[in-house]
Structures are given as structure tokens and as C-alpha cells.
Chain A
Amino acid sequence: MQKLGDFKLPHFFNYPPYFTLQPVRETREKQIQLWKELILDYCRTQKIFIVRLEEEFPLFSNSVIERTLSHEAREAFLSALVAEGRAEWLDKGRRNCLILWHRIQEWADIIVNFVKDNGFEDSVMTVEEIRSGIESRGTELHGIDRTILMRALKLLEQKGKLAIFKGTSTDDEGVKFSV
């Protein structure tokens, strides 16, 4: 089976029609489904949070069969993810897409578990520490996209699980848990 780095690719990745946006509705729907799953899988395993359409994205090209997804196709597949709530456009021009291979709610749950696992129920941490601190190593939180993290934290703040406060410098935000 073919690999992209250490990512195992499915057999149909070498099927040329997979890289041409299909016009027939039923066929296209299936194609979109397969691409959605593949994108999410890939991003999850590679910890990719943002896909930029105008840049090279390894998944969108297959040098073996010499095919590349057209811009139209890329937009179509990502829009399908957005519609499902698994992604968000970061700009109006639809050039940058935030991939939510975990939904925000899922991230929020992960944070709560993280807090519980490490006994941070009443602690204070900086946002940066959550992202890249020693404790987060080995967890999914490590290296999480800052935008996503903030959204998850805000969601938890709304639920009263924590409070966000500004630190001494502008990007030194902190969180007080009350999980």
C-alpha cells in the first residue's frame, strides 16, 4: 500500500478519476465522502490544522499517477467539510481552511480530561502552556492550533468551567480552571 510519509493511503488514491471532480451526482457524492474522510484522517494523524488551497498540500497530488486536484475540486471537498461542521473557512476568499478533525466540543472535552488527568482542576495555566507545556506532550493537545484552542476554551468559559484572563503581555493569556 502506498504511503505519504508514514500515512497509509487507501487503494483508490491511485485511481485517476478520484482526482477529477465527477459530474454525475451519485458518483460525486461518494467521491466527496471519500475525500472528506481522507482529509480528516490525514490531518488528524499529521496534526495539520490548516489547509491552504493555493499552497501545495501533499494529499491533493499524486505523483505516481501524475494527477492533482484542481482548485475547484479542492474547494468542493473542503466546503463539504465546512458544511458538516468539520472545518471552517478562515477568510472570505476561501483560501484557508481550518480543519476540525475534532470538533470544538470534542476539543473542549479533551481539555477537561487533560485537566482532570493532571489534577489541574483549580489551577491556573497559560494558554501556551496548554499547547506546548510538558504536560501536554503525548496528548492530542500538544501542538494544537491556537485558534482552535481559544475557541474550545471560550466554549468552556461559557459553561463556567474556566475563566480566561489576560496576562502581562498581549499574547500571554491565562486560564483559571474550575472544572
Chain B
Amino acid sequence: MSNFFSKAEVTSSGRPVLLHNEVECHLLSAVDLEPEDHRHFSLLKSGLLILTTHRLIWLPSSSASTPTSASAIPLAAISHIFSSKKSLKSVFHSPRIRFQVLVSSDGRVFDPSSGSGSSSGSGSRSVVVTAVIRGKGDCDGFLVKFWDSWRARAWETTKISSSGSGSASGSGAATGIGGGLYSSDGSVRMVGVAGILRKEQEMWESTDKSLQDAFQDLNALMSKAKEMVMLAEKMRQKLLSGTSSQTSGTNDEDMGSKEEMQDWLLSVGIISPVTKESAGALYHQQLSRQLADFVRIPLERAGGMINLIDAYCLFNRARGTELISPDDMLQACSLWEKFDVPVMLRKFDSGVMVIQNKSHSDEEVFARIKSLVTKPEALRTGISPTDAAMTLGIAPAMAKEHLLTAESKGLLCRDISPDGFRFYINLFPEIDPCNMYFVKDYGICSTWIKAVSTTGIGERSSTFR
């Protein structure tokens, strides 16, 4: 059986040899080409169908058992392309693209580039060819491009220019079907200056084309954007209304899908409106765990307690990109109570928020503060947050929080003066208002008096002016 279709030249690696100016447009895999009259002609089964500006090229798949040669149908030979009919049948079938080709007198596809088929013989008969697309390619897209290419009739302009250049360059230029710059092995032959110019031109053309495509996409996207925004708004509203109408017994499924929606909204950059009520979107949970891991080392270096703001800066710096907002940070820390992590968020009375190890013991800190503040020097002049910071090995701001907490527990007293903010050991509990002048032996007051008197403070008398 002779081939219905014309033979297409391929390179040694199986790539089609393209004609002068021919550009590939689309391809589909696992395609059968069935001429209507396939009783006389063999089917082409399960190959790669390539649409170019000039032809439909069918390449056999490498797994084909019988080596069928590559075939091509010139677009010029196509007289009609059928639009796809969506019927009930078509739901169950593989998609099909049907078109009508002109058949020359020998019953084969009319090939306008070759000499076969005189003008009188062309157009006498047409045969319908069906391309059955068994692969997963985009058939509708292919069909659209097929229409475009066919209508564009790129081969007509090529013919004019190539015939012109063919006569000019004489024997050196055209060889076989692949005339112009394309040699038989498919590689582009760059001949001198003309070659360079040719190459430049090609680059411009392809850039231009892809730009056009891009703008097409952009236009399409812009029109979609409005719809997208509306859709996102609707979802947001749905989420909001969903939570506000919650009954006491929340359906687990509902919560799950709501969380999914939240995650989706978050991933397209929309803040979930239900942050407080929700159990915590997946994003925040992951962030929370990540933060707990990250913060371990800074905590150690900072002596077990770190200001939330400092932790925030460190974390974002480490992340580099995808910085988190302060709200995210707060959310992540608040979620720690729900997990079993060794860190916790703590808020002091002053409003300062810190991250500290769960193992952190206030009592231990107070013991250290107490021993610091009962040293003779500290008894005389008290301690400042800086002094405490140095002893405790933590930041001064953190040390101040500890001192304030110790004060609130009655361990320390504050002394505010032009010299600054200092803390002393609390002597008041030991003093009896009904017996003010009495000093207990071995009590803290007596220790204090001893420490103070060495500098002579307690001994000097001041006379009433």
C-alpha cells in the first residue's frame, strides 16, 4: 500500500526538517491519522502530530513496532477544516480533528511544492482525514492554531521569496525540499552575511510572536482579574458569614473546609478574616512550629529570655524572603500554647512581651537577684538594670522586667532619683511601725546598716538648719 501522505524528511535524531520560514506551532502526541478511504491506504497510528505554519507533520513514535516513515500534509492541500462537534458520542470517544484534503490524480494527497499533480489535476477530489487524538494534549488549542495557520497561508509568501532567492543564489542554495538555509540534516546553514541577517530576522520574528502571545495572555488575564477579585470577595464573605452563624456544635467537616478556604485565601495573599476564631490556619501552624525551632538558639544566647520584637527581627532576617508581618508573629506565638513546644510567650505587667523557655524559672532568677542585691556594694548603692543584666547574662531590657517582677513580689524596692532608676533589697517588711527604732539582730536591716555604716553614711549627723 502506498502512502497516502507525502513523505516528510527527518533528521538523524528524528526531528523534522523544516522548510524555509516554517515554524512549529503546536504538537499533540499519540495521534492516529485516518484517511477516510483507508481501505486502500495504511493508517498512521499513534504518532506525534506537529502543526507548523506550512504543514501537518506526523512522526512515528520511537516505540512503534513497524518503522513507518514520517509523513506530512501541506496545509496548502487542505481545503476545509471541520469544527469540532460536541455530541454525546464525543464524550466517550477520543477527541477528533477532521479536515478535508485535496487529492491528486494518483490518489495521494496533493503536494503543491513538489512537481506531482498538475494544476489541472489538483482540486478534483477531496478526502476527509481524521486525526484521532489519543494523547492528553490540548485538542481545542491545537484546533484553534490549526485554523490560524491554515488561514495565515504562510507558504504563499514563502514561495514568492524562496523562488526569488532560489534563482539569485543559483545552485548553491536549494537542495531538495529543505530549500534556503536548511540543509538535509536539519541544521541551519548560515551563509555569510545573508545568514547573519537571516538569523537576526528570525530572532526578531520569534520575539515579536512571543510578545504578541504574551500580550494576548495578559489581556485575557486582565479581564479575568476582575472576576478573580469578585470571586475572592465572595469566598471571603462566605467565610465570614459561616463563622458568625456558628452554632455551639461546630461540624468538623465544616471547620476543615473552612480551613482549606482560609489557606487558599492566604496563599493568594488575602488575609483570612477569621483569624481569632479559627483553630489556626495551617499556615500559622507551620509558621508557629518553624518559629519555635528557630528561636531556640537566640534564646540560649540571650540567656533564656528574648524580647518579642528582637525575635521578630531575627526571624525575618533569617527568612530573607517571604517576610512575616507582626500579626503573623503574634499569631504564631499564641499558637504555642496548643502545641508541645519548649517555648512560651509571656507578657509582663509593663506590657513588654518576651519569648522564654518553658523551663525558665522565675524563682531561680529571683534567687540570683537576691544574692546580687544583698552584696555590700549593692546594699549601699542598689542595682541598676544594667548591673542585673551583666550578672544574669541577659539584655538590660529583659533584666529590668525581671527586676520589676521581683519588686512586685516584694523582694525589691525602687529608688528614683536624678541618678536614675535603681533597686534595693526590700527592708520594709522587717520594720515595725510601732517600734521603728528597733533593729533585729541578724536581720536584713542589721546587715544593711553594717554595709552602709562602713562608708560612714549612718554615722554622720546633720543639724537642723
Contact = CB atoms under 8 A, between A and B. Distances in A.
B433 interface: yes
A17 B413 contact: yes
Nearest to A15: B427
Interface string B452-464: 1000011011111
A34 B436 contact: yes
Contact of B414 (A3, A7, A23, A34): A23
Given A10-B436, A11-B439, A11-B449, A65 B410 contact: no
A66 interface: yes
B264 interface: no
Given A14-B452, A64-B457, A34 B462 contact: no
A16 B462 contact: no
Contacts of B427: 12, 15, 17
B464 A17 contact: no
Interface stretch (A24-32, A89-97, A131-139): A24-32
A55 to B, nearest CB: 13
A71 to B, nearest CB: 14
A63 B416 CA distance: 15
B436 to A, nearest CB: 5
Nearest to A56: B465
A145 B448 CA distance: 40
A30 B431 CA distance: 8
Contacts of B382: 16
Contact of A27 (B428, B445, B448): B428
B415 A20 contact: yes
Given A10-B436, A10-B437, A17 B445 contact: no
5 contacts: A11-B458, A17-B426, A22-B413, A24-B410, A27-B410
A8 B407 contact: no
Nearest to B415: A16
Interface in A33-88: 33-34, 36-38, 58, 63-67
A119 interface: no
Given A14-B458, A20-B415, A64-B457, A5 B464 contact: yes
B411 to A, nearest CB: 10
Given A8-B437, A37-B433, A64-B457, A3 B413 contact: no
Given A10-B431, A14-B458, A37-B436, 20 more contacts: A2-B460, A5-B464, A10-B437, A15-B424, A16-B422, A17-B413, A17-B414, A19-B417, A20-B413, A20-B414, A20-B417, A23-B414, A30-B428, A30-B429, A30-B431, A33-B433, A34-B436, A58-B464, A63-B462, A64-B460
Contacts of A6: 464
Nearest to B381: A16
Given A2-B458, A14-B452, A27 B436 contact: no
Contact of A5 (B417, B439, B458, B463): B463
B408 interface: yes
Given A27-B428, A37-B436, A66 B414 contact: no
A14 B434 CA distance: 19
A38 B435 CA distance: 11
B406 to A, nearest CB: 10
B436 A16 contact: no
A24 B433 contact: no
B458 A31 contact: no
A26 B429 CA distance: 9
Nearest to B433: A33
Contacts of B458: 1-2, 11, 14
Lowest 6 CB-CB distances: which A-B pairs, in order? A5-B464, A17-B413, A16-B415, A30-B428, A33-B433, A10-B436
Nearest to A36: B433
A17 B433 CA distance: 16
A62 to B, nearest CB: 8
Given A30-B428, A34-B428, A34-B431, A17 B417 contact: no
Given A11-B445, A14-B457, A24-B407, A64 B462 contact: yes
B26 to A, nearest CB: 79
A16 B424 contact: yes
Interface in B135-155: none
A63 B407 CA distance: 26
A31 B436 contact: no
Contacts of A36: 433
Nearest to B407: A24
B415 A24 contact: no
B462 A4 contact: yes
Contacts of A15: 424, 427, 448
Residue from A2, A30, A63, A64 whose CB has the most chain B CB atoms within 10 Å: A30
A31 B464 CA distance: 24
Interface in A104-161: none
A3 B382 CA distance: 24
Contacts of B407: 23-24, 27
Contacts of A65: 457
A137 to B, nearest CB: 23
B401 to A, nearest CB: 15
A58 B436 CA distance: 19
Contacts of A4: 462, 464
A74 B427 CA distance: 21
Contacts of A38: 436
A68 B439 CA distance: 24
